[in-house]
Chain A
Amino acid sequence: MVEGTKKRNRVFDYFCEEDQFAGGVAWCAGCPLELTARFVPQVLGKNMVIVGTPGCAAPVLHGQNVGAWHKLAYMASVMTGVPSKATGLSRYYNRIGQDATVVCFTGDGCATDVGFQPLSGAAERREKIIYLAYDNEGYMNTGNQRSSATPLGAATTTTPVGKISRGKQTISKNMPLIMLMHRPSYMATATLSHLEDFAKKLKKAQEKVKEGFVYLHVFSPCPVGWRINSNMSIEVCRNAVRTNYFPLWEAEDGKPRLTLEVANPKPVVELTKLMRKFSHYKEEDMANLQKAVDERYALIKSLCDAYK
């Protein structure tokens, strides 16, 4: 190929640091979490301290796979202590004038379930920390068990399909909205199919965290647990956005705004057909999921419209 014929992606303009992770790390093939972990420090810079948990990020962040690691300062935590540890770090670094971006990096299980209390507490106290939840809709590291971020009807190892019951019986928590109700400095959803949008939100997060709490909710499909082909992860992200299953929105100083309004949203089946965790779905199940998606989107949209 002749040099310069392909346009350089604008997302590179947001990079200020080289990749902090070695090649050959221990994440699964096609995992968006790996790409997210590599992407975030490239935008935020390496003056960050990550607080993480046992979970999908752990095999690399915890240094289990010692042959291929990363160059960041990192504190391991049990799932109940992440935002509190980040609080301790950020309070002390601020006090001594140490330049630092303290980032909590956890899965949805930690954020929405077992680690929710300290997350809510830190948000209410307006701690100067960024909490990034990578949402793979369940406990994927322990083998695909349900969390409260698992969607309606999804088959997991603890919400299996059987004769009596078929997948998860309840809808997922609307975590971005719950966090918005804490009135953080900044809240945003993001995913890897819309990288420039993601990068802009990270930059904004870095600015707004100087004033108070920041929550980022990143949609992160799990090729293994959701049973997706490993070359399809980004396509799944894209279809999640295009079906309004995962709306891209943000809220600066409590004011919600859609960062991407999908012109002609596709039916949710365009997303679910890419994976096998919904393969047991009948028409009626699909209608229920579509209803849940529409309801959620309508709520967010009406909030955003109210602030226009």
Chain B
Amino acid sequence: MVSAQKGQVRVITGNAVGAYGAMLCRPEVVAAYPITPQSEIAELLSQFKADGVLDGEYVEVEGENSAMNVVLAASVAGARTFTATSSYGLVFMYDALQETSGFRAPVVMVNANRETPGIHAVSSGQQDLISARDTGWIQIIVENDQEILDQIIMAYRLAEDYDIQLPIMVNYDGFYLSYLAEAVEIPNIEDVDAFLAPLKQQPERQKLVPGVAIGCGTHGMEMGYVEARYKHCQALERVKGKVDEIDKAFGDYFGRYYGGQIEEYRTDDADIVILASGSATGTVRTVIDTKREQGIKVGLIKLRLFRPFPAERLIGVLKGKKAIGVIDRSLCFGWKYGPMCMELRALSPEIGPAPILSYIDGLANLDITVPHIGRVIDEVSAAAQGKPYQEVTWIPMEE
């Protein structure tokens, strides 16, 4: 495969990027319901449909639960599908999310991250994606507008892979990215076609066809249930390698690489590592550069793949490091650590005895600032030198 043509560069919002990303992949059935901060995607896709740019069906559903059910069923019938939501919408889909992964329907969904119900916060946070952690979906978190677009294209290649056949949620920080306009290279649709073409050479997946005796989502009694769940879990394990493989193929063709499951930044010679995700990682890189100049050997892991959890690659990077700091933009009710920190602590036996410090920051649109990250690095660095440390810090509560 040769390289793609240079695409058109435009300054557009993260939401607009989401709509362009979907349209470029030629979905056959799209369903979406507007919700802040995602609404612009629903509006733009409707406009694409009205203008004839989007050839697929567009279903203006009466709620998010229906949006997921529409794309789930269309996907099972054989369609390429797309939907987008956020927060309250995502939790309103909860039963359908589980059906979608249980049906092994390769739906691609964009989720503009926002805080979840209970306390009405029309603001950014990753609590929604955390709430959907155990629904059996693949969950990927991206950092900027270009990555939203590129990841949507990669998501189809991954979801529809014959060995995977699972739905994917592409997450980006609502408000921070949904309304942020930045320069994005929009690939030519023919190049996207070419990148997705290998899917056509794979065996055809099982579909629900009228007149054929086939039950879909039916009761898996006893061993039937166990076998289906086992295969689902095995497929999730295969996702990890595929993400790296597809990232490499994408980079080779379009010229942009993201590191696959995780992106490593200055970790090779680092004594301490900060683990973060989403739009805040850009700021973390900047602070790391400053701290490096001050002689602190610190690196960053940008967690891209959250489900399945990239255990092997994390262990590979973190084994033998002296201390780790994890910045979570969400909570893990019932555990004092943040969710990503809790996940990482499950790898402690393999990583070694390094202190793992949990930081809760950036909830409800509160910025994860340069001073915040500076403080995190200083404290993790002190912990690495054997000084006493606080296991969990809610940064905004201590300011």
Residues of A within 8 A of B (CB): 46-49, 51, 58, 61-64, 66, 69-78, 80-81, 83-89, 91-93, 95-96, 98-101, 117-118, 120-121, 124-125
Interface residues as binary, B197-216 with A (CB distance below 8 Å gives 1, 0 otherwise): 00000000000111111111
B259 interface residue (CB < 8 Å to A): no
Q: Is B63 an interface residue (CB 8 A)?
A: yes
B-side contacts of A117, CB under 8 Å = 62-63, 65-66
Contact B214 A46 (CB under 8 A): no
* A87-B73 in contact given A100-B210, A121-B66, A124-B62 (Cβ < 8 Å): yes
- What CA separation (Å) do A138 and B79 show in the bound complex? 36
In the complex with contacts A81-B95, A84-B65, A85-B69, A75-B60 CB distance below 8 A: no
Inter-chain contact B62/A121, CB cutoff 8 Å? yes
Give residues of chain B (64-78) contacting chain A, Cβ–Cβ below 8 Å: 65-78
Tell me the bound Cα distance from A118 to B62 in angstroms.
Answer: 7
Whether B76 lies near A62 (C-beta < 8 A) is no
A73-B213, A81-B65 known; A64 and B74 CB under 8 Å?
no
Given known pairs A85-B70, A88-B72, A95-B28, the reply for A74 and B61 (CB within 8 Å) is no
Determine if A85 and B73 form an interchain contact, defined as CB atoms under 8 angstroms apart.
yes
| Cα–Cα, bound, A80→B61 (Å) | 13
Contact A89 B66 (CB under 8 A): no
The answer to whether A92 and B29 touch across the interface, beta carbons within 8 angstroms, is: yes
Q: Are A76 and B59 in contact (CB under 8 A)?
A: no
B23 CB → nearest A CB, Å: 17
Whether B218 contacts A76 by the Cβ 8 Å rule is: yes
Q: Which residue of B lies closest to A52 (CB)?
A: B218
Q: Would you call B219 an interface residue if the criterion is a C-beta within 8 Å of the partner chain's C-beta atoms?
A: yes
The binding surface of chain B is classed by DSSP as: mixed
The 23 listed contacts between A and B (C-beta, < 8 Å) are: A48-B210, A49-B208, A49-B210, A51-B73, A69-B213, A76-B217, A76-B219, A78-B95, A78-B96, A84-B66, A85-B70, A87-B66, A87-B70, A88-B76, A88-B77, A89-B74, A91-B57, A91-B59, A91-B70, A92-B28, A92-B57, A121-B61, A121-B63
From residue A268, how far is it (CB to closest CB) to chain B in Å? 36
- Name A78's closest neighbour in chain B (CB-CB): B95
Question: Which residues of the other chain, A, contact B213 by a CB distance below 8 angstroms?
Answer: 69-73
Question: Contact: A91 with B29, CB < 8 Å?
Answer: yes
Q: Report chain B residues within 8 Å CB of A69.
A: 213, 215
Bound: A101/B211 CA distance, A? 10
Picked from B67, B216, B221, the residue with its CB within 8 Å of the CB of A74 is B216
Chain A residues near B99 (CB-CB < 8 A): 77-78, 81
Give B100 Cβ to nearest chain A Cβ, in Å.
10
Docked-complex contact A73 and B211, CB < 8 angstroms? yes
A101 touches B210 (CB 8 A): yes
B221 close to A89 (CB less than 8 A): no
- Closest CB-CB distance, A74 to chain B, in whole Å? 5
Q: In whole Å, how far is B84's beta carbon from the nearest beta carbon of chain A?
A: 16
| Contact size range, B | 35 or more
A75 touches B210 (CB 8 A): no
Tell me if A99 and B210 are in contact (CB < 8 A).
Answer: yes
Residues of A within 8 A of B77 (CB): 88-89, 92-93
Report Cα–Cα, A49/B216, bound state, in Å: 11
Residues of A within 8 A of B67 (CB): 84
From A71, A81, A98, A121, name the one whose CB has the most chain B CB atoms within 10 angstroms.
A81
Cα distance A47–B212 when bound, in Å?
8
B110, CB-defined interface residue at 8 Å? no
**Ordered nearest first, which 5 A-B pairs have the shortest CB separation?**
A121-B62, A88-B73, A84-B69, A88-B74, A81-B69
Within the complex, what minimum Cβ distance (angstroms) separates A281 from chain B? 39
Q: Is the beta-carbon distance between A118 and B221 smaller than 8 angstroms?
A: no
B273 at the interface (CB under 8 A from A): no
Q: Which residues of B contact A92 (CB under 8 A)?
A: 28-29, 57, 73-74, 77-79
Q: B70–A77 contact, CB under 8 A?
A: no
Asked if B31 lies at the interface with its beta carbon under 8 angstroms from chain A, I say yes
Report yes or no: B210 in contact with A64, Cβ–Cβ below 8 A: no
Taking CB atoms, residues of chain A closer than 8 Å to B71 are 88
Kindly provide the distance from the CB of A122 to the nearest chain B CB, expressed in whole angstroms.
8
Q: When A92-B57, A92-B78 are in contact, do A74 and B69 touch as well, CB less than 8 Å? A: no
**Most chain A Cβ neighbours within 10 Å, of B29, B69, B72, B79:** B69
Q: Which residues of B contact A72 (CB under 8 A)?
A: 213
Query: Cα distance A92–B96 when bound, in Å?
Result: 19
Chain A residues with CB under 8 A of B59: 87-88, 91, 125
With a CB–CB cut-off of 8 A, which chain A residues contact B76? 75, 88-89
Min Cβ gap B6→A in Å is 33
Contacting pair A63 B219 (CB below 8 A)? yes
A118 contacts across to B, CB distance below 8 A: 62-63, 65-66, 69
Interface string of B65-108 (1 = CB under 8 A from A): 11111111111111101000000000000011001000000000
A53 vs chain B, min Cβ distance (A):
11
Tell me whether A47 and B218 are in contact (CB under 8 A).
no
Please give, as numbers and ranges, the residues of chain B lying within 8 Å of A81 by CB-CB distance. 65-66, 68-69, 72, 95-96, 99
User: Do A76 and B62 touch (CB < 8 A)?
Assistant: no
Point out the residues of chain B lying under 8 angstroms from A99, CB to CB.
210
Contacts of A71 in B (CB 8 A): 213
Name the one of B62, B70, B208, B215 contacting A63, with C-beta atoms under 8 angstroms. B215
Q: Nearest residue in A to B63 (C-beta to C-beta)? A: A117
Complex CA distance for A66 and B225, rounded to whole angstroms: 14
Question: Which of chain A's residues have a CB closer than 8 A to the CB of B31?
Answer: 87-88
Question: Which residues does chain A contribute within 8 Å of B78, judged by CB atoms?
Answer: 92, 96
Distance between Cα atoms of A144 and B76 in the complex (Å) = 33
